[in-house]
Amino acid sequence: MKEKFVLITGASGGIGYPTALLFAAKGYHVIAHCHKHPDRLLQLKEELSNSYGAPCHILSADLSCRQDVQSLFQKVYEICPALDVLVNNTGISYVGLFTDMASEDWETVLHTNLSSVFYCCQEALPPMIRQKRGKIINISSIWGSTGASCEVAYSAAKSGVNGLTRALAKELAPSNIQVNALAFGAIDTSMNHHLSEEERMQLQEDIPMGRFGTPEEAALAIYTLAEAPSYLTGQIIGVDGGFC
């Protein structure tokens, strides 16, 4: 059976970490990336080795920088000839009034959340196109469709991810490469820890399921999409407890 390779960016985070664990449990060779939390990556590699005896490589790069992404993929292609799955999961948020936002913060949020997807897709695609096979899964947000007050840059970036996903899927369909996005709602990760208890309760009341999603549920959605039929492409799939 052919070994399958997945690159998960932002693998040290609340969604990326359980996603790496799940792919390893399903037999994938995991290439895990992060930028600022190497200790978590080392913990992940140890857990994958101890729990599953699974092969895992850990890599660090600033994905908002094209040169760093190019260097990252040079290392990826020393590990495998081509990726079977690319999970573009790296992301940061900025919470604050639009009128108070500095241009540097705007650029950081857009480059980290949107440009990183562009850079990674460009580096991942040539081998995928040659082998006529591959899955790209972009992690988006419901705020990319509905917008979130005091999160203008994040909402704009995720809206861009949605547009990139739909357009790239059309371009790559003749090459049998599927591009989809998962638009997550409120997932119980550190990205939502800025909420006060009152704000958290108000948000939960607006979610038909009455609760935040778990990181494990997010990971399962990502893995399920990676194993979905090839005819499923160009979709922005909401995983939000019925919120949208």
Q: Strand order in 177-184's β-sheet? A: 56-60, 29-34, 5-8, 85-88, 134-141, 177-184, 236-239
Report the candidate in 91, 2, 17, 14 with the shortest Cα–Cα distance to residue 56.
17
The whole-angstrom separation of Cα 93 and Cα 96 is: 10
The total number of residues written for the chain in this structure: 244
Reply yes or no on whether 119 is catalytic. Answer: no
The set of residues, in sequence order, having a beta carbon less than 8 Å from that of 34 and lying 6+ positions away, is 9, 10, 11, 12, 13, 16, 40, 41, 58, 60
The whole-angstrom separation of Cα 60 and Cα 166 is: 28
Helices (H) and strands (E) in the chain, counts: 9, 7
Q: Which of 52, 154, 223, 231 is catalytic?
A: 154
Q: Is 79 exposed, middle or buried (0-12, 13-18, 19+ CB in 10 A)?
A: middle
Alpha-carbon distances, residue 162 vs 61, 68, 141, 158 (angstroms): 24, 24, 9, 6
Active site residues: 154
